[in-house]
């Protein structure tokens, strides 16, 4: 009988002072160690623990939904969240907007050489927490390392699968003239929270990002009103751009009431002095729902009964317009277009 | 939002609108120009034209600083950014202004130039302080509103002996541009499309005067508009109620045959303006003999350059930049539009070739530009919506 070979001593990852090096992406021992000690330890679940290159599972019957979302936010940490929980919420929300119950996530990391392992651990722990809270495990993943200067710390892509319950048929193409337009809460919080952390913008705010997983709110809404026509989370480009997408997809117009759109006073003030329009500022924990007008009241009640929809509001209605214009009745009583975002939102000079 | 919402009150707006409707003289057409891009933006963003009587027409003036920056000046900045080892920084809107061949600072950035967006002149100087080995050039532009801030950083840089900072100065002056509009052969503007053929063009009846510019220069510099040209001016703030009130005041001057400089923006503007800021501007800058304005052409004594004493901080001198005037795209009507002689929708390429995503002319670049404002906020009015 031969003696068991003594395993070589492996120095544990230095999560306090260590940094990402090129060897962490080279496919060797260092990479295996990073995956085991950091990712598998944090995300731990039965499927991931098998350490295969893929996740293998059975889905319950129904239509399967798949979504993917890349996250490149700068700075990595901001009031109310960080790139980690954002990457979990983002994909869960994309799945949920079809009415689906999110089941599993995959996560892919592009790490920049020199990234502090302590920062990476903070991000990974935040992802693990978000995925556990949402009840949607991360079951497979990938890691690559790029040379210093070729990334921005961490880029994360998450992909998710979910299943749509029978009888639910939600699409951006289903808005119909006469439908009501609802939003689940105040807009612009995430974008302003992130902007407040940018180095060249020396302003302080109590605004925190609204990043949140919306699938439970959606389940609650669908239980009250299964016949929701369209749903979408207004992330980049904000409320204005998302409504334009739906209007174009559905071949309809929209008429909004400016006075009914919920905006936190701090967000409004920050946008005012930065020369931005809150309608175009990103959200990460809000959704727009479009439903038949006679279902608007019960849907609004259901949304307000959930903590993530407490400030929900009815903001306008879908109109017949072959030009697909989204228009708004202003607080002053005038009317204007709420157009697609042009380029990046750049501040005006004076 | 306190101190802001008060100036956006829909009920008060309805009250002013009712007064305008009551006081508009039957059969009288009113043509007013809002000089400032800030006013153009406010009119469009709040949908104010719907509150005006049908006989009041607002003509969008040239007061958008990035819109009047000529192609040749954009080219100078782009060449500096691409060919010299510098960090070029400027205000957000200015990054998108197209120069020759559609090349903007944003596009130069995509080709490897080190271009940064800043929020204030102080940020530009901070960039230079943070990296003394790097030459930082600040593309400074704007009317008298932004000029004092540029003056402050030049003086600070000189006092602190900062050697890696310079300013590409394109600051322009408001009163000479107003004079140029009043003296232009195409003024008064034939913008009224309902006018019967052969009828004389309508007369420009007065100006809504600048808001922020006037906080610096006061109301006195506009007095020539009333005394020499017989046109009323009402200085107005940028909030929607300010504007509506100013238009009502202009209508009242017209109705009573007065031509005066009136001040609606009394909470921020006095007759003499900000003397300290004016002194600072005089210390750092001197008036150029002439300057090209996009759309308006050369206007004498209408812009500033850095005085010889601060030559070290003048990027034009430091990099011996050569200015070559470049004509606008032939199809572009920006010049006529900026003078108020045409409306955006009169331009053949408006909304087709020229859109905010792909601006050909300067008026389409900034949301303060007449064309971009109309495209972004008002173009539904050009289209008769036919129910399917």
3-state secondary structure chain B: CCCCHHHHCHHHHHHHHHHHHHHCCCCCCEEEEEEEHHHHHHHHHCCHHHHCCCCEEEEEEEECCCCCCCHHHHHHHHHHHHHCCEEEEEEHHHHHCCCHHHCCHHHHHHCCCEEEEECCHHHHHHHHHHCCCCEEEEEEEECCCCHHHHHHHHHHHHHHCCCCEEEEEEEECHHHHHHHHHHCCCCCCCCCCCCCCCCCCCCCCEEEECCHHHHHHCCHHHHHHHHCCCCCEEECCCCHHHHHHHHHHHHHHHHCCCCCEEECCCCCCCCCCCHHHHHHHHHHEEECCEEEECCCEEEECCEEEECHHHHHHEHHHHCCCCCCCCCCCCCCCHHHHHCCCCCHHHCCCECCCEECCECCCHHHCCCCCHHHHHHHHHHHHHCCCCCC
What pLDDT digit, counting tens, does each position of A265-298 carry? 999 998 988 878 999 999 999 999 999 999 999 9
Q: How far is B178 from chain A (nearest CA, A)?
A: 19
Q: What is the pLDDT of residue B287?
A: 98
**Whole-number mean pLDDT of chain A?**
93
Give the HSE-up count for residue A166: Cα atoms under 13 Å, Cβ half-sphere: 2
DSSP H helical ranges for A201-330: 215-224, 238-250, 265-274, 296-304
User: B22-26, B257-261, B329-333: which range is least confident on average?
Assistant: B329-333
Compute the average pLDDT of residues B108-129: 95
> Which among A201, A327, A343 has the least Cβ separation from residue B357?
A343
Better-predicted residue by pLDDT, A174 or B341? A174
User: With 70 as the cut, is the pLDDT of residue B199 above it?
Assistant: no
Q: What is the pLDDT of residue B331?
A: 86
Task: Kindly determine whether residue B47 and residue A269, on different chains, have CB atoms separated by under 8 Å.
Answer: no
Residues of chain A contacting B150 with CB distance shorter than 8 Å: none
What pLDDT digit, counting tens, does each position of B280-304 carry? 999 999 999 999 998 888 999 999 9
Q: Averaging pLDDT over each range in A157-166, A193-202, B99-108, B339-348, which range is the top one?
A: A157-166
A276: tokens are: 């931005």
Task: Kindly determine whether residue A337 and residue B376, on different chains, have CB atoms separated by under 8 Å.
Answer: yes
- H or E segment at A48? helix A46-49
Task: Kindly determine whether residue A200 and residue B96, on different chains, have CB atoms separated by under 8 Å.
Answer: no
Q: What is the pLDDT of residue B192?
A: 44
Name the DSSP letter for residue A307: G
The pLDDT confidence band at residue A104, using thresholds 50, 70 and 90, is very high
Q: Does B140 touch chain A (CB under 8 A)?
A: no
User: A223-237, A289-303, B65-79, B330-344: which range is least confident on average?
Assistant: B330-344
Compute the average pLDDT of residues B216-229: 97
Q: What is the pLDDT of residue A2?
A: 63
Q: What is the pLDDT of residue B337?
A: 83
Residues of chain A contacting B4 with CB distance shorter than 8 Å: 272
Compute the average pLDDT of residues A312-326: 96
The pLDDT confidence band at residue B194, using thresholds 50, 70 and 90, is very low
N-term to C-term CA, chain B: 42
Q: What is A22-164's CATH number?
A: 3.30.1330.10
CA angle B380, B384, B388 (to 5 degrees): 110
B145: tokens are: 């509103």
Interface A–B counts its CB contacts (< 8 A) at 113
Task: Kindly determine whether residue B1 and residue A269, on different chains, have CB atoms separated by under 8 Å.
Answer: yes
Residues of chain B contacting A350 with CB distance shorter than 8 Å: 37-38, 65, 142-143, 145-146, 212
Q: Does A8 touch chain B (CB under 8 A)?
A: no
- Domains of chain B, by residue range, sit at 5-62+202-263, 71-173+272-318
CA distance linking residue A321 with residue A255, whole number of Å: 10
Q: Report domain A180-337's class.
A: alpha beta
Better-predicted residue by pLDDT, B253 or A206? B253
Q: What is the pLDDT of residue B200?
A: 46
Q: What is the pLDDT of residue A18?
A: 94
Which residues sit opposite B60 in a β-bridge? B34
Q: Does B208 touch chain A (CB under 8 A)?
A: no
Task: Kindly determine whether residue B47 and residue A334, on different chains, have CB atoms separated by under 8 Å.
Answer: yes
The 3-state DSSP class for residue A122 equals helix
User: A48-57, A211-220, B183-192, B320-329: which range is least confident on average?
Assistant: B183-192
> Which among B13, B106, B383 has the least Cβ separation from residue A323?
B383
> Which among B123, B379, B387 has the least Cβ separation from residue A337?
B379
What pLDDT digit, counting tens, does each position of A52-100 carry? 999 999 998 889 999 999 999 988 999 999 999 999 999 999 999 999 9
Q: What is the pLDDT of residue B189?
A: 45
Compute the average pLDDT of residues B67-86: 95
Task: Kindly determine whether residue A350 and residue B212, on different chains, have CB atoms separated by under 8 Å.
Answer: yes
Compute the average pLDDT of residues A207-232: 97
Q: How far is B198 from chain A (nearest CA, A)?
A: 34
Task: Kindly determine whether residue A337 and residue B8, on different chains, have CB atoms separated by under 8 Å.
Answer: no
User: With 70 as the cut, is the pLDDT of residue B120 above it?
Assistant: yes
The fold adopted by the segment(s) B71-173+272-318 is: Rossmann fold (3.40.50)
Name the DSSP letter for residue A344: S
Q: Does A307 touch chain B (CB under 8 A)?
A: no
Q: What is the pLDDT of residue A343?
A: 66
Same fold, B5-62+202-263 and B71-173+272-318: yes
Same fold, A22-164 and A180-337: no
Task: Kindly determine whether residue B48 and residue A332, on different chains, have CB atoms separated by under 8 Å.
Answer: yes
CA distance linking residue B110 with residue B177, whole number of Å: 34
Q: What is the pLDDT of residue A345?
A: 66
Q: What is the pLDDT of residue A9?
A: 74
Number of other CB atoms surrounding residue B233 within 10 Å: 29
List Cβ<8 Å contacts ≥24 apart for A170-173: A170/A97, A170/A98, A170/A99, A170/A228, A170/A229, A170/A230, A170/A231, A171/A98, A171/A229, A171/A230, A171/A249, A172/A230, A172/A232, A172/A245, A172/A246, A172/A249, A172/A250, A173/A230, A173/A249, A173/A250
User: With 70 as the cut, is the pLDDT of residue B357 above it?
Assistant: yes
CA distance linking residue A94 with residue A73, whole number of Å: 17
What pLDDT digit, counting tens, does each position of A115-166 carry? 999 999 999 999 999 999 999 999 999 999 999 999 999 999 999 999 999 9
Q: What is the pLDDT of residue B79?
A: 97
Contact between A40 and A158 under an 8 Å Cβ cutoff? The reply is no
The fold adopted by the segment(s) B5-62+202-263 is: Rossmann fold (3.40.50)
The pLDDT confidence band at residue A344, using thresholds 50, 70 and 90, is low
Looking at chain B, the whole-number percentage of residues with pLDDT higher than 70 is 94
User: With 70 as the cut, is the pLDDT of residue A349 above it?
Assistant: no
Mutate to test the interface with A, among B4, B9, B40, B92 (most CBs of A within 10 A): B92
CA distance linking residue A339 with residue A325, whole number of Å: 8
Q: Does B38 touch chain A (CB under 8 A)?
A: yes
The side-by-side arrangement of strands in the sheet containing B30-36 is B56-63, B30-36, B206-209, B233-235, B261-263
In residues, how long is chain B? Answer: 388
- Domains of chain A, by residue range, sit at 22-164, 180-337
Mutate to test the interface with B, among A336, A341, A347 (most CBs of B within 10 A): A336
Q: Does A334 touch chain B (CB under 8 A)?
A: yes
Q: What is the pLDDT of residue B78?
A: 97
User: With 60 as the cut, is the pLDDT of residue B191 above it?
Assistant: no
Which residues sit opposite A77 in a β-bridge? A82
Q: How far is A109 from chain B (nearest CA, A)?
A: 25
Q: Rounded to 10 degrees, what is the CA torsion of A132, A135, A139, A142?
A: -60
User: With 80 as the cut, is the pLDDT of residue A200 above it?
Assistant: no
């Amino acid at each position: 009988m031969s003696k068991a070979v003594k395993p070589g001593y492996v120095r544990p990852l230095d999560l306090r002072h260590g940094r990402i090096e090129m060897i962490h992406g080279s496919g060797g021992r260092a990479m295996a160690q990073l995956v085991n000690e950091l990712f598998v330890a944090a995300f731990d679940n039965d499927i991931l623990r098998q350490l295969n290159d893929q996740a293998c599972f059975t889905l319950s019957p129904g239509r399967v939904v798949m979504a993917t979302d890349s996250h490149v936010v700068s700075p990595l940490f901001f009031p109310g969240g960080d790139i980690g929980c954002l990457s979990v919420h983002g994909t869960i929300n994309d799945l949920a907007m079809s009415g689906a119950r999110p089941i599993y996530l995959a996560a892919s990391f592009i790490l920049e050489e020199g990234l502090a392992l302590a920062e990476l651990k903070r991000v990974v722990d935040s992802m693990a927490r978000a995925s556990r809270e949402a009840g949607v495990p991360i079951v497979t993943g990938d890691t690559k390392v790029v040379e210093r200067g070729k990334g921005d710390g961490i880029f994360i892509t998450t992909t998710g699968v979910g299943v749509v319950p029978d009888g639910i048929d939600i699409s951006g193409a289903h808005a119909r003239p006469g439908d009501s337009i609802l939003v689940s809460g105040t807009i612009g919080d995430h974008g302003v929270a992130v902007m407040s952390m940018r180095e060249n913008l020396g302003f302080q705010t109590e605004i925190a990002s609204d990043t949140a997983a919306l699938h439970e709110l959606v389940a609650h809404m669908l239980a009250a009103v299964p016949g929701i026509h369209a749903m979408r989370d207004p992330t980049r480009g904000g409320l204005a751009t998302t409504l334009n997408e739906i209007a174009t997809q559905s071949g309809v117009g929209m008429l909004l009431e400016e006075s009914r759109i919920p905006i936190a006073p701090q967000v409004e003030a920050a946008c005012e002095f930065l020369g931005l329009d809150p309608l175009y500022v990103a959200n990460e924990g809000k959704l727009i729902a479009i439903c038949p007008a006679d279902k608007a009241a019960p849907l609004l009640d259901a949304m307000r009964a959930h903590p993530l929809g407490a400030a929900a509001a009815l903001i306008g209605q879908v109109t017949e317009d072959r030009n697909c214009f989204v228009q708004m009745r202003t607080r002053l009583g005038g009317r204007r277009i709420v157009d697609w975002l042009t380029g990046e939102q750049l501040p005006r000079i004076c | 939002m306190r101190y802001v919402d008060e100036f956006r009150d829909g009920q008060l707006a309805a009250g002013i609108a009712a007064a305008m409707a009551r006081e508009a003289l039957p059969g009288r057409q009113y043509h007013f120009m809002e000089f400032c891009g800030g006013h153009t933006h406010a009119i469009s963003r709040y949908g104010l034209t719907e509150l005006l009587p049908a006989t009041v027409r607002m003509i969008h003036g040239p007061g958008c600083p990035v819109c009047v920056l000529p192609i040749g000046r954009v080219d100078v900045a782009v060449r500096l950014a691409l060919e010299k080892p510098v960090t070029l920084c400027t205000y957000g809107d200015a990054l998108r202004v197209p120069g020759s061949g559609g090349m903007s600072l944003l596009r130069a950035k995509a080709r490897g130039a080190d271009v940064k967006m800043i929020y204030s002149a102080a940020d530009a100087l901070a960039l230079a302080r943070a990296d003394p080995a790097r030459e930082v050039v600040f593309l400074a532009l704007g009317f008298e509103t932004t000029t004092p801030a540029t003056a402050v950083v030049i003086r600070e840089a000189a006092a602190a002996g900062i050697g890696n900072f310079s300013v590409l100065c394109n600051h322009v002056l408001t009163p000479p541009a107003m004079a140029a509009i009043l003296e232009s052969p195409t003024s008064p503007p034939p913008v009224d499309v309902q006018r019967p053929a052969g009828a004389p063009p309508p007369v420009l009846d007065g100006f809504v005067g600048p808001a922020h510019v006037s906080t610096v220069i006061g109301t006195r510099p506009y007095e020539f508009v009333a005394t020499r040209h017989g046109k009323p001016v009402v200085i107005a703030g940028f909030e929607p109620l300010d504007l509506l009130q100013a238009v009502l005041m202009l209508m009242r001057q017209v109705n009573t045959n007065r031509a005066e400089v009136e001040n609606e923006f009394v909470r921020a503007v006095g007759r003499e303006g900000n003397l300290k800021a004016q002194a600072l501007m005089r210390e750092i800058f001197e008036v150029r003999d002439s300057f090209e304005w996009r759309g308006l052409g050369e206007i004498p004594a209408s812009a500033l350059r850095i005085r010889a004493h601060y030559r070290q901080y003048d990027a034009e001198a430091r990099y011996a930049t050569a200015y070559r005037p470049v004509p606008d795209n032939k199809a572009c009507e920006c010049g006529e539009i900026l003078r108020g002689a045409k409306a955006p929708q009169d331009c053949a390429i408006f909304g087709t070739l020229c859109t905010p995503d792909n601006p050909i002319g300067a008026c389409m670049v900034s949301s303060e530009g007449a064309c971009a404002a109309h495209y972004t906020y008002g173009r539904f009015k050009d289209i008769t919506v036919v129910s399917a």
